[in-house]
Structure formats: structure tokens, C-alpha cells
């Protein structure tokens, strides 16, 4: 997969993309990620990317031309899914991540200020995505979240140890509690069943714990089972 990102803060991506599984996926050639500075697609000497909103109101709006030119140039003749990260987008959930993981080329546009000129939607933007109901300062962190979720699903990125079966959100249940050594930590022990060696009892306990946690923290998911 190839991922291109259009942003006014290209430096934000450097430390995140050069660590952990995303770094390994790039080294293994499972994904190539290219970060583009939107200001390089401006033509005026101030490298202006925003302007005041028609109709008045607070803040600034991202101008259509720099983003339009950037997408056209980056896309070339390739087919690519163009995604704008913005608070008014569809919420990112695991089924949406799975869909994106099947694409050959993704172009991510990081929104800023009060948003982008809406005419870009018909012209170049395929979909808008939000990562949740809270206010961030821009689309950069959401783009990194999307990259992280998608890259780990690409074939050959995760080892068998980190395998993808039985994942939380696949079955609409949260993960069960996990413990590792020592069995007694500061006087706190672990559930006896986990030491029993009885795998069917262990599975039954884990399923029950998943249900209890989901009911307590994510009652909205219970209705989806
Ligand atoms: C909802 C706030 N808007 C009211 C006028 C202004 C506004 C605030 C912050 C518009 C854009 C932003 C920057 N946020 C993003 O670009 C963003 C985002 C987010 O804030 N929350 C969750 N997902 C996303 S994806 C992009």
C-alpha cells in the first residue's frame, strides 16, 4: 500500500511513523508513506493556505486551490481513495479500517482552522473521517491514528504472536483482563482459574469477564451482539 499525507505540519509525522510496527511495515515494504507539505503547493510568497469565510464568522477556511493542486499532483494517473480528516466526517470504526486496508493508494488530507472549502468534496475528496467526539487542533493526529490502524492489518505486518484473531471490536466485546508474572504482586493475586490449566474453564472465565467489562464501560456495544 502507498499512503500520501497532505499537511501544514509535516514534521509532526516523523517521530510517530519511525517507531514500532509502522516503522517495521515500511522496512518490510508492506507500505510506503509520503508526507507532503501543503505550503509547497502555494504560489504566493507568503505561502498562504487559508482565507476568511464567505458570510463572515470566526476563524479561517482552508483555500481550495492548494489542496486541489496537491491532490492532482500527488495522485498523477493512479487511482487513489482521497480521505479528509475532519470533525464532520463519518466516525472511524474497525469495519471502516478494514475497508481502507484493502486499498492500493490512500491520500489523506489533514484539515485545519474551521475546515476546508466545501467545494473540494465534489472535486477531489472521496470521504471525510472523524476519529471521535472530541475537539482536536487539526487532522494530523487523526491521520496518524488511521495510518496506525490500517498498517497493522496489511498482510505480513504482524507476526503470529500479535495475530489478528479474536480481536476486541471484531466481536463487539472488550478484551478480558490479562495478567503476567509474578502471580502475587504487592499482595494482589490473580484469579485461580488462570493457574488451573483447565482451558475450557479459562475460556469460559474470559468470555464472562469480556461481557462484564463491555456491559460496564461500553453498554452501546452490548446491543450490537
Ligand atoms: C467542532 C469544532 N469546530 C466548531 C466550529 C471547529 C473545529 C475545531 C477543531 C474545526 C476543526 C478542528 C480540528 N479537528 C480536526 O481537524 C479533526 C478532528 C477532531 O477535532 N476530532 C475528531 N476527529 C477529527 S478528524 C480531524
The mean pLDDT of 94-102, rounded to a whole number, is 97
Q: Say if residues 109 and 82 touch (Cβ distance below 8 Å).
A: yes
Burial degree of 66 (CB within 10 A; 0-12, 13-18, 19+): buried
* pTM, rounded to two decimals: 0.96
Q: Residue 225's pLDDT band (boundaries 50, 70, 90)?
A: low
Would you say residue 166 has pLDDT above 60?
Answer: no
What is the predicted pLDDT for the residue at 165?
A: 60
Instruction: Tell me what the pLDDT averaged over the chain comes to.
Output: 96
Q: Which residues line ligand 1 (CB under 6 A)?
A: 85-87, 111, 114-115, 130-132, 134-139, 142
Site to probe by mutation for ligand 1, drawn from 5, 8, 86 as the one with most ligand atoms within 8 Å of Cβ, is 86
Q: Residue 168's pLDDT band (boundaries 50, 70, 90)?
A: low
Q: What does the domain layout of the chain look like in residue ranges?
A: 2-151, 166-222
166-222 has CATH 1.10.1270.20 classification: yes
Cα 82 to ligand 1 centroid, rounded to whole Å: 18
**CATH among 3.40.1280.10, 2.10.25.10, 3.40.50.700, 3.30.70.1230 for 2-151:** 3.40.1280.10
Site to probe by mutation for ligand 1, drawn from 5, 115, 136 as the one with most ligand atoms within 8 Å of Cβ, is 136
What is the predicted pLDDT for the residue at 176?
A: 98
What is the predicted pLDDT for the residue at 223?
A: 81
Q: Residue 140's pLDDT band (boundaries 50, 70, 90)?
A: very high
Q: Say if residues 177 and 163 touch (Cβ distance below 8 Å).
A: no
- pLDDT tens digits, 42-69: 999 999 999 999 999 999 999 999 999 9
Amino acid at each position: 500500500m502507498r499512503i500520501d499525507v497532505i499537511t501544514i505540519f509535516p514534521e509532526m509525522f516523523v517521530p510517530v511513523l519511525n517507531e514500532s510496527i509502522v516503522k517495521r511495515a515500511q522496512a518490510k515494504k508492506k507500505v510506503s508513506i509520503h508526507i507532503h507539505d501543503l505550503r509547497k503547493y502555494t504560489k504566493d510568497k507568503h505561502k498562504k493556505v487559508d482565507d476568511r469565510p464567505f458570510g463572515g464568522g470566526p476563524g479561517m477556511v482552508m483555500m481550495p486551490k492548494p489542496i486541489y493542486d496537491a491532490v492532482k499532483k500527488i495522485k498523477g494517473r493512479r487511482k487513489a481513495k482521497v480521505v479528509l480528516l475532519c470533525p464532520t466526517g463519518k466516525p472511524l470504526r474497525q469495519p471502516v479500517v478494514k475497508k481502507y486496508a484493502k486499498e492500493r493508494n490512500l491520500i489523506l488530507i489533514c484539515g485545519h482552522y474551521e475546515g476546508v472549502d466545501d467545494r473540494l468534496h465534489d472535486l477531489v475528496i472521496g470521504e471525510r473521517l472523524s476519529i471521535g467526539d472530541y475537539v482536536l487542533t487539526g487532522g494530523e493526529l487523526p491521520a496518524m491514528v488511521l495510518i496506525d490502524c490500517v498498517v497493522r492489518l496489511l498482510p505480513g505486518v504482524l507476526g503470529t504472536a500479535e495475530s489478528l484473531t479474536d480481536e476486541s471490536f471484531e466481536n463487539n466485546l472488550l478484551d478480558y483482563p490479562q495478567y503476567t508474572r509474578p502471580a502475587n504482586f504487592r499482595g494482589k493475586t490473580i484469579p485461580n482459574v488462570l493457574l488451573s490449566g483447565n482451558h475450557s474453564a479459562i475460556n469460559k472465565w474470559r468470555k464472562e469477564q469480556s461481557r462484564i467489562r463491555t456491559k460496564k464501560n461500553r453498554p452501546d456495544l452490548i446491543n450490537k451482539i
